[in-house]
């Protein structure tokens, strides 16, 4: 957790709050930084977070 937080440029406490729901709506740039630290593109993140595949936004391509 400490390594991922540091890689994303946030504190471990901020990441802990996000994980436990105490920070239920993290800033977009925080989410983007965490995605990058985890090796995920924003497209990957969108797909992984979509509630149902039918409601996912289609990727351009």
Instruction: For tokens 């990441």, name the residue.
Output: 15
| H helix intervals, 1-61 | 2-8, 12-20, 28-37, 42-49
pLDDT of residue 12: 96
Read off the CATH number of the domain in which 6 is found: 1.10.260.40
Q: Is residue 8 part of a domain?
A: yes
pLDDT of residue 15: 96
Q: How far is the C-alpha of 15 from the C-alpha of 29, rounded, in Å?
A: 13
Host domain of residue 20: 2-51
Rounded mean pLDDT for each run of 10 residues along the chain, 61 residues in total: 95 95 92 94 86 62 58
Q: Is residue 58 part of a domain?
A: no
- Residue of 32, 30, 35 lying closest to 14 (CA atoms): 30
Q: Is residue 14 part of a domain?
A: yes
Q: Is residue 61 part of a domain?
A: no
Our count of domains for the chain comes to 1
């Amino acid at each position: 957790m400490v390594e991922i937080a540091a890689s994303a440029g946030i504190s471990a406490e901020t990441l802990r709050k996000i994980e436990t729901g105490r920070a239920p709506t993290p800033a977009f740039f925080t989410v983007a930084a965490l995605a990058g630290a985890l090796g995920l593109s924003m497209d990957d993140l969108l797909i992984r977070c979509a509630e149902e595949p039918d409601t996912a936004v289609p990727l351009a391509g």
